[in-house]
Structure 1
Amino acid sequence: MNNKPWLEHYPVEVPITYDYPKQNLAQFLIQSTERFPEHIALDFLGKKMSYSVLLDSVYRFTNALLGLGIRKGDRVAIMLPNCPQAVIAYYGTLLMGGIVVMTNPLYVPRELEYQLKDADVQMIVTLDILVDRVKKATEKAPLNYILVTSVKDYLPFPKNLLYPLTQKKTGKPVTYSNSVLPFLLFLKHSTAVPTQTSIDANKDLALIQYTGGTTGLAKGVMLTHSNLVANTIQTKLWFYRAKMGKERYLAALPFFHVFGMTVLLNQSVHMAGTLILMPRFDINQVLKSMDRLKPTVFPGAPTMYIAVINHPDLQKYDLSSVKVCISGAASLPRDVQDRFESITGGKLIEGYGLTEASPVTHVNNIWEKRKIGSIGIPFPDTEARIIHPDSGEEMPQGEIGELIIRGPQVMRGYWKQPEETFKTLRDGWLYTGDLARMDAEGFFYILDRRKDLIIAGGYNIYPREVEEVLFEHPDVEEAVVAGVMDPYRGETVKAYIILKEGSTANEEDLQRWCKDKLAVYKVPKIYEFRDTFPKTLVGKVLRRKLIEEDNNKTTK
């Protein structure tokens, strides 16, 4: 207990350890369908699909893949927004022992080409409006099959008829062939006979998820069925008040990001919940859906909750159905947490994870003790340590070092990159590259990525600490802090600010505010006011992109 003080803060309902089933990840879908066949699994812009209909489509997809000669271990890419086709292709691939490669629909051909080639993908499932991009990305190495669908394929009447009228014409109409196949016919011409290829859950991969492309080529994280089954169950154990067949999950996080995949897609299917599918995060659509469809669970990124609490017409919507929100992908400012909880009456807690851990490793208690600014405590069966970044020795309690993690959700390694695997994975421990500390009660605090640390005049400055202070300013809607080159100090602190609508705050106001709350060397020296930030589809601000923009300005 001495080296795991966090166990003292486990709710009595949450076990310290658990016997995770060694099964295909898609078994969750089969089990939920057996118990709740007529329960609504998916609600896509009004089109509802029951568990029995979903599983029927998944079996058809599985059998159709086998009919094409795709076999266990083959890679199938899914390049779709949150829609029924993404769910069908995901579980259909898993059931026949295939490996899913989730791909961002916003990727340009160069990014897509690298990923498809690196994973040696046999087939991609994508939208009709993206086919030209896929073909351009695969000119040098054509795929065996491109499976094409349209958003309107699963829209309810009359939205399916109106959809083509509301869309801009992009690219040529799709020409179908022996290698370019229409999704709906692909399923229709197949059989729904239950099919499942046997797998070794500990060894066989369910997913190759690409990550870390901001500083070079992206790495394919290898996640087994056991990794993803364990993390899905760990998440369920933590949300111990969740009821089978009763929860409604607002799926605004994309499934092609591992956070959305685990806490929404896998979690909802495991709990026989209803997934309210949002093809993209549109704040007006989100608020309308929350008001009308009454979701109980709304995982997201801080920027999503910021958009909710700052919406000018917020009072028109009833958000009281929300019980639990897990925030990830970036640090959650206290002001955002407090305001969101007062508006909804639900709990908004901060957690932590990374793609290499399926992804969740730490989270604050939902109903018991939690600490603002902390990422919480490790999940069941998850160990965490703070070590010296250079010597590897464990740091004294409260000291800052690198966070390392061990648990059943930790990846097998990086696809075809043994050297990178060796750097990141040693003796079962995952070296996160994040600087953190643990307090006396076992709560962990992320300071920043090692590469985001600002060293100015010999002082270590953690961007997150400065961002927290800026977020507390009543006129600041969003804030990002980064280190920029400085000929005297080496680096200096720069703050990128989005002000609330109607605010007249200026650089002097913010500087005064920071001087009252921070040591002088931490106070930002440069301020840039912006209307938007570059972000991932999960809502994570691309800090590196802001720095690159600055560097480009100075070199011109």
Structure 2
Amino acid sequence: MLNLAMLLEDSARNHPEQTAVVLDSRNWTYADIDAEARRVAALLAGRGIAPGDRVALSCPNLQWFPIIYYGIVKAGAVVVPMNVLATRAEVEYFLADSGAKAFFCFAGTPEMPIGEQGFSAFLSTSGCEQFFLITAASEAASPIVGAETLEQALSGRAPIFETVMRQETDPAAILYTSGTTGRPKGAVLTHSNLLLHAATGNQMLGSTDLGDTHLVVLPLSHVFAATVNMHAGFASASTLVLLPRFDPRVALRIMETGRITFLAGVPTIYWSLLNAMTDATDVARIAGSMRRALSAGAALPVPIIEGFGRNFGVTILEGYGMTEASPTITFSKPGSAARPGSAGVPIWGVDVKLVDDNGDTIDGPDRVGEILVRGHNVMRGYHNRPEETAEVLRDGWLHTGDLGRRDEDGWYYIVDRVKDLIIRGGYNVYPREVEDVLMTHEAVSLAAVIGVPDQALGEEVKAVVVAKPGAWLTENELIAWSRLRLAAYKYPRIVTFVDEIPLSATGKALKRELAR
């Protein structure tokens, strides 16, 4: 019997006065966060939420996110985190599909009315019985007619609650995938999935008690930030400096003054930070504190690895994972030299293999196959989707749908998504390889490669490019340049320049929008 909330409770017991969360000029200790989480758990139990019930949470990176998250799991319930950018229709779908009994939702702003959309979705969802509006400050009345504020619901409630213990394989969280095929599916992650992941991460990165000061730039609703920053960070009594909305200039100022030692991001985060630097940026001060920098989501272009290392003296450690794997599958070895393009080696307790189209295991280096995974990180399955679960969990292995290769030292390289593969005239073109080459052009700031329909070839290679400020580059010039560096079937015949590439909340290019 165990509970994911042990991560918070252990640090609150051993380091009660240690700062757990920083938001703007306010600090909360581990004792503060644990006490508030107990109040939330007591509220849920008092409102009829039973162990195993699902409870939804839509909140940016505020102190309330970890408080409510751990309050939900303390009560034995299952947290369903949502991205605050989700539309009303998406929220309604998440509530209905998960069978959520309660919903904690941030009020938002006039420009981003998260609360109004959330309350409307709640009213339209049968079975969701409780709605709590998270406000930025204590308010006497709710800004939304008919909605109870969390402050009102918690008023007078003491921080007294005994955590409900659960079985290791009981669900702790349901996280919805991006839905690249069909509607989003809820990946069920267990208490043991997330607890073992936090312990593995801290062991691998050499974290200790009172270990790090994290700058949290990715949304905690995403499994990467929740695991690497929140769960692993709380397990080591680290301090989380929350940034509700990523702005590279604000992030750099915090890195200068906040003695940040730990940063987890995706390639576009690091790209934005490097591009936001000016002559006034105190590079030496940032470098003097920075201990670890992690990246996932996509392979880091070499210029970003070199630029970050040159400025801040830290080699960005790259990893590969997915929601269904809690999320980490492979990771760079700390202390090893950077291997650009590599996502590292399997983490502790996890097996990885490559298979061909027939499902046969691929041996030997540098052969491309689908990546299969098994270990403590693999989800229990998709919520209420037995057919989809059976499709990806076969013979004890998680079939990722990603293509990869392995070098002679056992380091893995992610080639691309199976579904992103471009087949041009019968030849396989991996968009990520083309993107990596384009990113080495001195005038290219960001690139995304997609396949577009072609009557003769089936698909043609198209590059959508953001040029660096002040750079002058034409479509034909970039095509000619890439032709010299890529095989004849790989280089893009179509190039489009744009001011920005649409990105997901975690910094991935939204290629479906580019293809429209």
Q: Is the 8 A contact 1:78 1:90 kept in 2?
A: yes
Describe how 1:420-439 pairs up with structure 2 within 5 A.
420-439=388-407
The alpha-carbon deviation at position 370 of structure 1 amounts to 4.2
Hey, what does 1:17 align to over in structure 2?
Answer: none
- What CA distance in whole angstroms lies between the structure 1 residues aligned with 2:254 and 2:338? 29
- What CA distance in whole angstroms lies between the structure 2 residues aligned with 1:187 and 1:504? 58
Q: 1:125 to 1:113 in 2, by over 3 A?
A: same
- Alignment pair present for 1:393 and 2:369: no
- Alignment pair present for 1:289 and 2:254: yes
- Alignment pair present for 1:379 and 2:309: no
Q: Is the 8 A contact 2:3 2:164 kept in 1?
A: no
- What CA distance in whole angstroms lies between the structure 2 residues aligned with 1:232 and 1:347? 22
The alpha-carbon deviation at position 210 of structure 1 amounts to 0.5
Hey, what does 1:274 align to over in structure 2?
Answer: 239
Describe how 1:44-443 pairs up with structure 2 within 5 A.
44-129=23-108, 130-142=114-126, 143-153=128-138, 173-176=143-146, 180-202=147-169, 204-240=170-206, 242-313=207-278, 315-317=280-282, 318-320=285-287, 321-389=289-357, 391-397=358-364, 398-443=366-411
- What CA distance in whole angstroms lies between the structure 2 residues aligned with 1:539 and 1:501? 20
Hey, what does 2:439 align to over in structure 1?
Answer: 471
Kindly provide the CA deviation profile for residues 216-274 of structure 1, in whole angstroms up to 9, marking residues without a partner as x: 2100101000001111111111101x231131011011011101110111111011000
Q: Is the 8 A contact 1:383 1:406 kept in 2?
A: yes
Structure 2: unaligned runs, 5 residues or longer = 109-113
Q: For the aligned residues, what is the CA RMSD?
A: 1.5
Kindly provide the CA deviation profile for residues 123-170 of structure 1, in whole angstroms up to 9, marking residues without a partner as x: 1111223232123223432421111122345xxxxxx9xxxxxxxxxx
- What CA distance in whole angstroms lies between the structure 1 residues aligned with 2:250 and 2:137? 17
The alpha-carbon deviation at position 461 of structure 1 amounts to 0.7
Greater RCO (CA < 8 Å, at least 6 residues apart): 1
Q: Is the 8 A contact 2:318 2:343 kept in 1?
A: yes
Hey, what does 1:157 align to over in structure 2?
Answer: none
Equivalent position SS for 2:263: coil
The alpha-carbon deviation at position 322 of structure 1 amounts to 1.7
Q: Is the 8 A contact 2:249 2:273 kept in 1?
A: no
Equivalent position SS for 1:460: strand
- What CA distance in whole angstroms lies between the structure 1 residues aligned with 2:230 and 2:315? 20
Which residue identity lines up with residue 345 of structure 2 in the other structure?
Answer: I
Hey, what does 1:19 align to over in structure 2?
Answer: none
- What CA distance in whole angstroms lies between the structure 1 residues aligned with 2:424 and 2:295? 30
- What CA distance in whole angstroms lies between the structure 1 residues aligned with 2:304 and 2:338? 16
Equivalent position SS for 1:517: coil
Q: Is the 8 A contact 2:416 2:431 kept in 1?
A: yes
What count of residue pairs does the alignment treat as equivalent? 504
Q: Is the 8 A contact 2:103 2:122 kept in 1?
A: no
Which residue identity lines up with residue 175 of structure 1 in the other structure?
Answer: V
- What CA distance in whole angstroms lies between the structure 1 residues aligned with 2:123 and 2:43? 25
The alpha-carbon deviation at position 64 of structure 1 amounts to 1.2
User: What fraction of aligned residue pairs are identical, expressed as a percent?
Assistant: 35
Q: Is the 8 A contact 1:61 1:186 kept in 2?
A: no
The alpha-carbon deviation at position 35 of structure 1 amounts to 1.4
The alpha-carbon deviation at position 299 of structure 1 amounts to 0.2
